[in-house]
């Protein structure tokens, strides 16, 4: 189980870093290339959102409130994962024709918020998995 946690921890940290870099850099290069990168990242993000939610739920279920080193509440991480899960899949579903397809300024702002929350949640989940918590 330790090896699985370590692999998922590395995956979460790596995908959080990739999303952070892409979110910052996507405005500086070709829109077509940026869209292609986001297309790949969106699938990896979907996996990361679901697995971060699953691991945060497992952490919440096995919580020990007296444990030293709990620098983030299991409930706070689970709540952040739930919010991220709902917002991410709602926004992402519109790209498949389920909802409005045009990228309005509101949707752009929502993607910015989701990307930021994604980086925070997955970096935290990854570090916790790497620490074995």
List, for residues 8-29, the tens digit of each pLDDT value: 999 999 999 999 999 998 888 8
Task: Answer whether residue 97 shows pLDDT above 80.
Answer: no
Q: How far apart are the C-alpha atoms of 79 and 132, rounded to whole Å?
A: 20
Q: How far apart are the C-alpha atoms of 111 and 48, rounded to whole Å?
A: 16
Spatial CB neighbours of 69, under 8 Å, sequence gap ≥ 6: 133
With left for phi above 0 and alpha for psi between -120 and 50, is residue 97 left, alpha or beta?
A: left
Domain residues for the domain of 11 are 2-131
pTM value is 0.83
Task: Answer whether residue 128 shows pLDDT above 70.
Answer: yes
| Continuous segment of H or E residues that includes residue 49 | helix 31-61
Q: State how many domains the chain has.
A: 1
CATH of the domain at 31: 1.20.120
Question: pLDDT for 67-91, tens place per residue?
Answer: 555 657 888 889 999 999 999 988 8
CB 51 within 8 A of CB 16: no
Residue, of 57 and 66, whose pLDDT is higher: 57
């Amino acid at each position: 189980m330790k090896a699985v946690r370590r692999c998922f921890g590395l995956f979460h940290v790596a995908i959080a870093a990739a999303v952070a870099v892409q979110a910052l850099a996507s405005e500086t290069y070709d829109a077509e290339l940026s869209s292609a990168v986001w297309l790949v990242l969106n699938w990896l993000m979907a996996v990361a959102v679901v697995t971060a939610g699953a691991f945060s739920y497992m952490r919440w279920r096995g919580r020990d409130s007296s444990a030293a080193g709990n620098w983030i509440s299991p409930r706070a991480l689970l709540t952040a994962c739930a919010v991220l899960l709902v917002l991410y899949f709602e926004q992402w579903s519109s790209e498949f024709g389920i909802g409005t397809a045009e990228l309005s300024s509101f949707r752009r702002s929502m993607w910015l918020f989701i990307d930021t929350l994604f980086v925070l949640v997955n970096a935290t989940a990854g570090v916790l998995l790497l620490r074995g918590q």
